C-alpha cells in the first residue's frame, strides 16, 4: 500500500478509482515541506508549487500527477533528475478552455459586466438606446497568439461558428484552413480581440508588456485564459488606464489569486474570472480520471496515460 497525497478532493469518478486502488489516500491541505517525505505519489493543482527544494525532501516520490494541462507549477528538470515522473491532463480540457476564451470575448464585446452589474445595482430604470454598446463579433478579426490545441480549438469555433476572420501568431506557420498565420506586429495592430494561448515557461514570462499593448488598436480587447505570468500585469493596468486598448477579459492573474487590493480585481475595464478555464463537469470528470490513472500507472511502473517528457 502506497501513500497518495492530494491537497483537496476533486470532482467525479477519479476519486473512486483512487479509493478502489487500495492505496492510502491522504487529503490536504498539509504542509508539503514536512510531509512530502511520506508520499509515493501526489496529485497537484495549478496552485501547488513543486519546487526543487521541496523535491529534495521527497525521498519516496515516484510521480507528480498534475490535474491540469499546464505544468509551469512543477520544476520538471528537478523531477527528471530524481527519476520522478510527471503526468498531466491534456486534450480533455481543450474544448472547455477554448469555450471560456470565447465566453470572455463575447462578454467583453457585449459589455456584459457593465450591464449585469447595473441590473444588480437597481440601475435598470429605462431602456437606454445608447447604453452598453460594444463591438460584438460580427466582421471582427480575432488574433490568437500560440496555436496549440486550445488556440486551434478557439480558432475553429470562431471561424466555423461565427464566420470571424481568424489570424494567428505561433512559433511556425501551421497551414490551417480556418486561420491565417501573420507576424506578431500585424496581429497586434489589426486584431479586434487578441487571445493568448502560449505555454508559460522561462522564455515566455511577461511576454505581453506595454510595448505590445501599445501596438494594439485602442478599441481592441485582450483575452488571457493561459497563465497570468505571460503578462506584465502592472503594464496591462497602465495600458488600460492610458486607453491603449478597450479592455481585458482574464481568467488568470499573477499572482493567483491576486492580492486583496490589486487593481486588476476591480478595474472597470477588466472582466476577471477565478481561473475556471477547465471548469465544465465533463472536463473535470475526465481530468480526475486521467490524474488518478497517471498515479496508479506510475506506482505500478507502467507508462502513464499522459506523461510530460520535455524537461
Sole binder of ligand GLV in the list 104, 277, 284, 292 (CB under 6 A):
277
- Tell me if 223 sits within 8 A of 250, measured CB to CB: yes
Q: Which residues have a Cβ under 8 Å from the Cβ of 269 and sit 6 or more positions away?
A: 240, 246, 247, 248
Q: Which is nearer to ligand GLV, 244 or 278 (CB)?
A: 278
* 292 near ligand GLV, rule: CB under 6 A: no
- Minimum CB distance to ligand GLV, residue 8 (Å): 15
- Minimum CB distance to ligand GLV, residue 278 (Å): 5
Beta bridge partners of 85: 63
Sole binder of ligand GLV in the list 69, 100, 105, 153 (CB under 6 A):
69
* 228 near ligand GLV, rule: CB under 6 A: no
Q: Which is nearer to ligand GLV, 9 or 134 (CB)?
A: 9
* 289 near ligand GLV, rule: CB under 6 A: no
Q: Which is nearer to ligand GLV, 70 or 155 (CB)?
A: 70
Cα(174)–Cα(225) distance, integer angstroms? 22
Q: Which is nearer to ligand GLV, 94 or 232 (CB)?
A: 94
Which residue in this structure is represented by grid cell 481543450? 94
Which positions from 29 to 48 touch ligand GLV by CB under 6 A, shown as an x/- string?
Answer: -----------------x--
* 247 near ligand GLV, rule: CB under 6 A: no
175: left (phi over 0), alpha (psi -120 to 50) or beta: left
- Tell me if 191 sits within 8 A of 220, measured CB to CB: yes
* 104 near ligand GLV, rule: CB under 6 A: no
* 288 near ligand GLV, rule: CB under 6 A: no
The yes-or-no answer on residue 227 being catalytic is yes
Angle, alpha carbons 256-260-262 (nearest 5°): 75
* DSSP secondary structure, 65-98, as one string: EESSS--TTB-HHHHHHTT-EEE---STTHHHHH
* C-alpha grid cell, residue 111: 459589455
Beta bridge partners of 168: 144, 181
Q: Which is nearer to ligand GLV, 105 or 187 (CB)?
A: 105
What is the CB neighbour count within 10 angstroms for residue 4?
23
Angle, alpha carbons 170-269-244 (nearest 5°): 60
* 98 near ligand GLV, rule: CB under 6 A: no
Angle between helices 149-156 and 94-109 (to 10 degrees): 50
Cα 206 to the center of its chain, rounded Å: 15
- Minimum CB distance to ligand GLV, residue 202 (Å): 17
Choose the catalytic residue: 197, 233, 235, 275. 275
* 68 near ligand GLV, rule: CB under 6 A: yes
* Count of residues of this chain found to bind ligand GLV when the rule CB under 6 A is applied: 7
Choose the catalytic residue: 227, 235, 284, 306. 227
- Tell me if 152 sits within 8 A of 176, measured CB to CB: yes
- Tell me if 114 sits within 8 A of 236, measured CB to CB: no
Q: Which is nearer to ligand GLV, 69 or 78 (CB)?
A: 69
Q: Name the DSSP class of 161.
A: I
Q: Which is nearer to ligand GLV, 62 or 275 (CB)?
A: 275
Sole binder of ligand GLV in the list 42, 93, 104, 105 (CB under 6 A):
93
Sole binder of ligand GLV in the list 7, 103, 244, 278 (CB under 6 A):
278
Q: What are the catalytic residues?
A: 227, 256, 275
Contacts with ligand GLV, residue ranges (CB under 6 A): 46, 68-70, 93, 277-278
Amino acid at each position: 500500500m502506497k501513500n497518495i497525497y492530494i491537497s483537496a478532493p476533486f470532482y467525479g469518478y477519479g476519486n473512486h478509482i483512487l479509493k478502489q486502488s487500495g492505496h492510502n489516500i491522504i487529503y490536504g491541505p498539509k504542509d508539503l515541506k514536512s510531509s512530502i517525505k511520506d508520499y509515493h505519489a501526489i496529485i497537484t493543482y495549478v496552485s501547488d508549487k513543486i519546487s526543487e527544494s521541496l523535491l529534495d525532501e521527497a525521498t519516496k516520490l515516484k510521480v507528480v500527477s498534475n490535474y491540469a494541462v499546464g505544468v509551469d507549477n512543477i520544476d520538471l528538470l528537478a523531477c527528471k533528475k530524481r527519476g520522478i515522473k510527471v503526468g498531466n491532463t491534456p486534450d480533455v480540457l481543450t474544448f472547455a478552455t477554448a469555450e471560456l476564451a470565447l465566453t470572455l470575448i463575447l462578454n467583453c464585446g457585449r459589455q456584459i459586466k457593465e450591464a449585469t452589474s447595473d441590473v444588480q445595482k437597481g440601475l435598470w430604470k429605462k431602456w437606454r438606446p445608447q447604453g452598453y454598446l460594444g463591438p460584438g463579433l460580427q466582421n471582427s478579426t480575432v488574433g490568437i497568439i500560440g496555436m496549440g490545441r486550445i488556440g486551434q480549438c478557439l480558432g475553429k469555433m470562431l471561424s466555423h461558428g461565427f464566420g470571424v476572420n481568424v489570424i494567428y501568431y505561433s512559433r511556425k506557420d501551421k497551414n490551417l484552413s480556418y486561420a491565417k498565420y501573420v507576424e506578431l506586429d500585424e496581429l497586434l495592430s489589426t486584431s479586434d480581440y487578441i487571445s493568448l494561448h502560449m505555454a508559460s515557461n522561462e522564455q515566455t514570462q511577461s511576454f505581453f508588456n506595454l510595448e505590445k499593448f501599445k501596438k494594439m488598436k485602442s478599441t481592441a480587447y485582450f483575452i488571457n485564459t493561459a497563465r497570468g505570468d505571460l503578462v506584465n500585469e502592472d503594464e496591462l493596468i497602465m495600458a488600460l488606464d492610458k486607453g491603449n486598448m478597450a479592455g481585458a477579459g482574464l481568467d488568470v492573474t499573477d499572482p493567483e489569486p491576486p492580492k486583496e487590493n490589486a487593481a486588476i480585481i476591480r478595474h472597470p475595464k477588466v472582466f476577471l474570472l477565478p481561473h475556471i478555464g477547465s471548469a465544465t463537469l465533463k472536463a473535470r470528470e475526465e481530468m480526475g480520471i486521467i490524474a488518478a490513472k497517471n498515479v496508479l500507472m506510475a506506482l505500478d511502473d507502467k507508462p502513464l496515460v499522459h506523461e510530460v517528457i520535455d524537461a
